[in-house]
A = this chain, B = another copy of it.
């Protein structure tokens, strides 16, 4: 079945959806990391985690400003995604510092890969903002090194942390799919309906994207010495 060409109003809605979802992801991530940092026992690790949380907050404020520029109300734009993103955090509460660090590394990695996929399908101005927000500010190296150090002393933790990584990627992809399916405009964007107007807008392309995200996750886990 062929889809009708999608109008400008719907494209605008898709962009507001993308920015609303990314804004809420950064907001929730920043508050979660700060809370995790507060509970970290050592001051140096607390600062490492707090700094990554502060970067996420800065990202949030950049997207918030852009939503206001677009005439959108940020809280309204974020609202449709709150349940899925909060659900991800509720279902992946770290039980200790190593799980906090792996969650920051894995969760942030998957989210960045996902929104980079999305950013290829939006207008240049939105893409430029997203690339700025999604740039690696060095947090990947810092986290990988911190986790590596911790695992050097706790090799016995590798098995359980590998399971933790698998749970994180499972929850993240489930929530992503849930959001994409619930929001028509966003789903159309993800399957490329705006790139090839009139193209068959089935979910095969979405499935391919999820496969690419999983592969990138495997590489990331290997880098910290864990099986994915």
Chain A residues packing against B (C-beta within 8 Å) = 27-28, 30-32, 34-35, 37-38, 43-44, 46-47, 50, 53-54, 57, 61, 75, 78-79, 82
The count of identical subunits is: 2
Closest residue of chain B to A79, judged by CB? B43
By a CB distance below 8 angstroms, the chain B residues around A32 are 38
- Ranked nearest first, the 3 interchain pairs of A and B with the lowest CB-CB distance are A34-B34, A35-B35, A31-B38
User: What are 21 A-B contacts with C-beta separation under 8 Å?
Assistant: A27-B47, A27-B50, A28-B38, A30-B34, A31-B35, A31-B37, A31-B38, A31-B46, A32-B38, A34-B34, A34-B35, A34-B53, A35-B38, A43-B78, A43-B79, A43-B82, A44-B75, A47-B75, A50-B57, A54-B57, A57-B57
Residues of B within 8 A of A34 (CB): 30-31, 34-35, 38, 53
**B contact residues around A61 at 8 Å (CB):** 54
User: What residue of chain B has the Cβ atom nearest to residue A44's Cβ?
Assistant: B75
The residues of B that contact A50 with a CB separation of less than 8 Å are: 27, 30-31, 57
Set of chain B residues within 8 Å of A28, measured between Cβ atoms: 38
Q: Taking chain A's interface residues, is the majority helix, strand, or loop, or is none over half, making it mixed?
A: helix
Other contacts beyond A27-B47, A31-B46, A34-B53: 19, CB < 8 A: A28-B38, A30-B34, A30-B50, A31-B34, A31-B37, A31-B38, A31-B50, A32-B38, A34-B34, A34-B38, A43-B75, A43-B82, A44-B75, A47-B75, A50-B57, A54-B54, A54-B57, A54-B61, A57-B57
Cα A32 to Cα B46 in complex, Å, equals 12
Minimum CB–CB distance for A223 against chain B, Å: 28
Q: How far is the CB of A42 from chain B (nearest CB, A)?
A: 10
Distance between Cα atoms of A76 and B27 in the complex (Å): 31
A62 CB → nearest B CB, Å: 13
A154 CA to B79 CA, complexed, in Å: 27
Bound complex: CA A43 to CA B82 (Å): 9
Give the Cβ gap from A33 to chain B, nearest Cβ, in Å: 8
Bound-state Cα–Cα, A79 to B53, Å: 22
